[in-house]
Amino acid sequence: MKVVNVGLIGLGTVGTGTLRILQRNAQEITGRTGRDIRVTRVAVSDINKPRDANLEGITLSTDPLDIAHDPEIDIVVEMVGGDSVAKDAVLAAIQHGKHIVTANKALIATHGNEIFTAAEKQQVSVAFEAAVAGGIPVIKAIREGLAANRIEWLAGIINGTCNYILTRMEQDGLDFSNVLADAQALGYAEADPEFDIEGIDAAHKLTILASIAFGIPLQFEKLHVEGITSITIEDIRFAAELGFRIKHLGIARRSESGIELRVHPAMVPADRLIASVNGVMNATLVQSDAVGPTLYYGAGAGAEPTGSAVVADIVDVVRTLDADSGSRVPHLAFGTGTMPEQTIVPMGQIETAYYLRMKVINRPGVLAAITRIFGDSDISIATILQKGHGDNNSEVTIIMLTQQARESNLEQAVAHVRELDSVTSDIQSIRLENLA
């Protein structure tokens, strides 16, 4: 029985979890693959740094290319993150005929098309289940389990940091900055949290999910991306009063105009299963024509949850080492010749309902003027609430829910409402997603 040699690039949180699982569950993994899998080399930034892992018999180096060039290595597992060093190491390993496993969503989202083309030329595999939703096998589910289906849309809570912050704001009544500081202290958010709270991390993941779901090239640069920094306690409380919860969603949807790709906060009906996903947990809801809705839920990050997905990819690659490359599942579910460019719908053409919040002077004619502006922009109002019952000329808060409307029309109406001298605040808008 030929031993399969594995080289790890990176031994941080995920790398350590991966190594632990490979060592602890070696007997089960061998039983599933019929081959012994051994980590023989690891590239790290600091060889002398203490590691919470058994490194006996493993050669350490500081140069990822040492692993890429090693003729004894069969599979290179990349877990350093980013898209510079990782890209160079992965492409070098592919050129040397090595199979790739990666947990790097930024690498796949921004350079995946190039990497997969190189891999097909060299007839090697690139596996990346751990790049999206940690330990949840959502990529395998969409690519293989739903292969008989035409996927209509998917919506995911795919960033645990954002979900943790919104959950704590709702449950504990804390404002954004306080919860963010707590998330950083607990290790749920980085010292520089921009990639998480501004939606970039979720956008990388949605890019990958959409490509697999719809058979389109990876197109990260075309996503609409918003974070959660504008969400307030006030919005969360009003959402609850109206029967909604605010979640940070990645949404990909087929429409008559093309494919929608968007990441942003959204109000979701509180009775939807995905609305009950709290804390750092992730979930992805997929709507397909044959099976209907399916929900994939679990830990979206962490050493062993993500390491579990990495090891599952290693197992899949080992199982196909001796298979003809043409019999392997395509990297992005569809053969490269069947992935034509499709129109990515501009955000202005998206249609959804909206929640709006503004402060106005309480005097006759104000609501009439506001609703007239929305009516002139072809937007129907479903609900209006006034918070505060002060005397005439005092300031009150107005909450509005619209019917389905085009985003460009909403933006036009909001711009005109802002010009009214009776409106005394900026206007908060949050999209409503029914997900039915």
Average pLDDT, integer, range 401-417: 98
Q: Are residues 150 and 294 in the same domain?
A: yes
Q: Does the structure show a pLDDT above 70 at 300?
A: yes
Q: Is residue 244 part of a domain?
A: yes
Rounded-to-integer distance, Cα 201 and Cα 44, Å: 24
1 falls in which pLDDT band (50, 70, 90)? Answer: low
pLDDT in the model for residue 429: 98
Q: Are residues 150 and 293 in the same domain?
A: yes
What are the tens digits of pLDDT across the range 358-373?
Answer: 999 999 999 999 999 9
Choice among 87, 140, 205, 247 that is catalytic: 205
Rounded-to-integer distance, Cα 370 and Cα 384, Å: 11
Q: Are residues 158 and 108 in the same domain?
A: no
Average pLDDT, integer, range 202-220: 95
What are the tens digits of pLDDT across the range 177-203?
Answer: 999 999 999 888 888 999 999 999 999
330 falls in which pLDDT band (50, 70, 90)? Answer: confident
Q: Are residues 202 and 254 in the same domain?
A: yes
Rounded-to-integer distance, Cα 141 and Cα 135, Å: 12
Q: Is the distance from CB of 296 to CB of 283 less than 8 angstroms?
A: yes
Q: Are residues 39 and 53 in the same domain?
A: yes
What does residue 165 show for φ and ψ, rounded to 5 degrees? -65, -45
Q: Are residues 147 and 273 in the same domain?
A: yes
430 falls in which pLDDT band (50, 70, 90)? Answer: very high
What are the tens digits of pLDDT across the range 124-164?
Answer: 999 999 999 988 999 999 999 999 999 999 999 999 999 99
Average pLDDT, integer, range 160-172: 97
Q: Does the structure show a pLDDT above 90 at 389?
A: no
Q: Is residue 48 part of a domain?
A: yes
In three state form, how does the secondary structure of the chain look? CCCEEEEEECCCHHHHHHHHHHHHCHHHHHHHHCCCEEEEEEECCCCCCCCCCCCCCCEEECCHHHHHHCCCCCEEEECCCCCCHHHHHHHHHHHCCCEEEECCHHHHHHHHHHHHHHHHHHCCCEECHHHCCCCCCHHHHHHHHCCCCCEEEEEEECCHHHHHHHHHHHHHCCCHHHHHHHHHHHCCCCCCCHHHHCCHHHHHHHHHHHHHHHCCCCCHHHCEECCCCCCCHHHHHHHHHCCEEEEEEEEEEEECCEEEEEEEEEEEECCCHHHHCCCCEEEEEEEECCCEEEEEEEECCCHHHHHHHHHHHHHHHHHCCCCCHHHCCCCCCCCHHHCCCCCECCHHHCEEEEEEEEEEECCCCHHHHHHHHHHHCCCCEEEEEEECCCCCCCEEEEEEEECCEEHHHHHHHHHHHHCCCCECCCCEEEEECCCC
The percentage of residues in the chain with a pLDDT greater than 70, rounded to a whole number, is 98
**This prediction's pTM:** 0.95
Lowest mean pLDDT among 69-78, 386-395, 397-406: 386-395
pLDDT in the model for residue 231: 97
Q: Are residues 38 and 166 in the same domain?
A: no
Q: Is residue 26 part of a domain?
A: yes
pLDDT in the model for residue 82: 82
- CATH number of the domain enclosing 279: 3.30.360.10
- CATH number of the domain enclosing 352: 3.30.70.260
Q: Are residues 156 and 66 in the same domain?
A: no
Rounded-to-integer distance, Cα 398 and Cα 426, Å: 12
Q: Is residue 343 part of a domain?
A: no
User: 174 — alpha (psi -120 to 50), left (phi > 0) or beta?
Assistant: beta
Q: Does the structure show a pLDDT above 70 at 340?
A: no
Q: Is residue 167 part of a domain?
A: yes
Domains in the chain, number:
3
Q: Is residue 265 part of a domain?
A: yes
Q: Are residues 148 and 290 in the same domain?
A: yes
pLDDT in the model for residue 336: 65
Rounded-to-integer distance, Cα 261 and Cα 266, Å: 14
User: 173: domain range?
Assistant: 143-299
Q: Are residues 271 and 352 in the same domain?
A: no
Average pLDDT, integer, range 343-370: 95
Rounded-to-integer distance, Cα 131 and Cα 141, Å: 14
Q: Does the structure show a pLDDT above 80 at 337?
A: no
Q: Are residues 158 and 84 in the same domain?
A: no
pLDDT in the model for residue 57: 93
Lowest mean pLDDT among 48-57, 87-96, 210-219, 334-343: 334-343
List, in order, residues 6 or more apart from 189 with CB less than 8 Å away: 161, 164, 165, 180, 183, 196, 197
Average pLDDT, integer, range 305-327: 89
In the annotation, is 49 catalytic? Answer: no
Rounded-to-integer distance, Cα 11 and Cα 49, Å: 10
Q: Is residue 102 part of a domain?
A: yes
Return the higher-pLDDT residue of 48 and 202. Answer: 202
Q: Does the structure show a pLDDT above 80 at 335?
A: no
pLDDT in the model for residue 282: 96
Length of the chain, please? 436
Residue that is last in its domain, among 338, 363, 394 = 338
334 falls in which pLDDT band (50, 70, 90)? Answer: confident
Q: Is the distance from CB of 358 to CB of 389 less than 8 angstroms?
A: no
Q: Are residues 273 and 383 in the same domain?
A: no
Q: Is residue 45 part of a domain?
A: yes
